[in-house]
Amino acid sequence: MARTLDAAAIRPGAVLDQPVYDEAGQLLLESGTVLTEAHLRQLQRLGYRALAVRDAGEEPSRGIVDDRVHALARRVVRDIFEAQRAGKKWELGPVREVVHALIDGIDPRPAGRVRICDSRTPAEYLVAHNVQVCVLALLVAKLMGLSERQQVEIGVGTILHDIGKIFIDEAILNKPGPLTEEEWEYIRRHPVDGFEILRRVPGCSFLSAQIAYQHHERLDGSGYPRRLKGPNIHLHARICAVVDVFDALTSDRPYRSALPVAGAMTVLREQSGTKLDATVVGVMDRWLRAAAPHVFAEEQQARLAGSPGSGEAGRGSALGDGLSPRG
């Protein structure tokens, strides 16, 4: 049976059910690789805390978008972040090209066993998070019937939504313990920095830049940086807010373990209509229940058994961190 396990618990002979990448973001092992002792040592050295595996002969999972397109998107985002850190100019063309490839490659119709989450090392988290938020946002945009122009705006804005974080010290982003108020000030600044960066990029639309600016705003005015409320938050940013929280919750971070998919959706439903857009949360919830019913079934079985569960539903954490993610 396919499941996500702590890397230390995986034994040689297990079949990898996800692609994994090295420090440079290059594909290291393809999904379907039979793991050896050497593979497992290498993955632990890279910092992988958990991995998706399946039994030999079991149907492989598929990503929401083809793994090769996903890997290309990571390379594009990594190159842009590195250029921005170095103070070099970069062009929007490669971003638009990869966004169009993602739009073309996402089929929202459930088929087969869909892989919702991906495992990441701490070093590649920021890049991988931006790409996965983009994939999920485009999926939601398609399900909502938004136009291709709107999808492109959403894709460009979400794939670069956290570009303002590239200047934050990694010691703050990856701090295991609580942040000080001064450290939170750095975190709260990143939407402003991201907006200012994107507004200076030729060809980047105002609405795409607004996604970077508004993705931490909340409907009740409790968000940042401007404490916007309700309809003052653009739909594109409201979509980004939901999938940003979902991806952060389902990712291992130094300061908390990943929530299972079902647990993350519980958090989103609890905040639906108060902090997060109810329509967007509902669209995502319905799609997940159709595309990945096993994660909800496993969660229910684990609760009835009074155990932590297995598979994607078996890696829980406290819900309290859900709406203050650093990534």
Between CA 122 and CA 315, with CA 324 as vertex, the angle to 5 degrees is 55
| Among 54, 59, 60, CA closest to 5 | 54
CA distances from 220 to 17, 223, 249, 273 (A): 40, 8, 21, 9
Residue among 282, 249, 226 nearest 117 (CA)? 249
Instruction: Please tell me whether residue 98 adopts helix, strand or coil conformation.
Output: helix
Catalytic residue among 88, 142, 165, 175: 165
- Spell out the residues 6+ positions from residue 267 whose beta carbon is closer than 8 angstroms to its own: 245, 249, 259, 319, 322, 323
Measured from the Cβ of residue 61, the count of other Cβ atoms closer than 10 Å reads 17
Residue 9 token pair? 């618990």
Residue 89 known to be catalytic = no
Query: Residues with catalytic annotation?
Result: 165
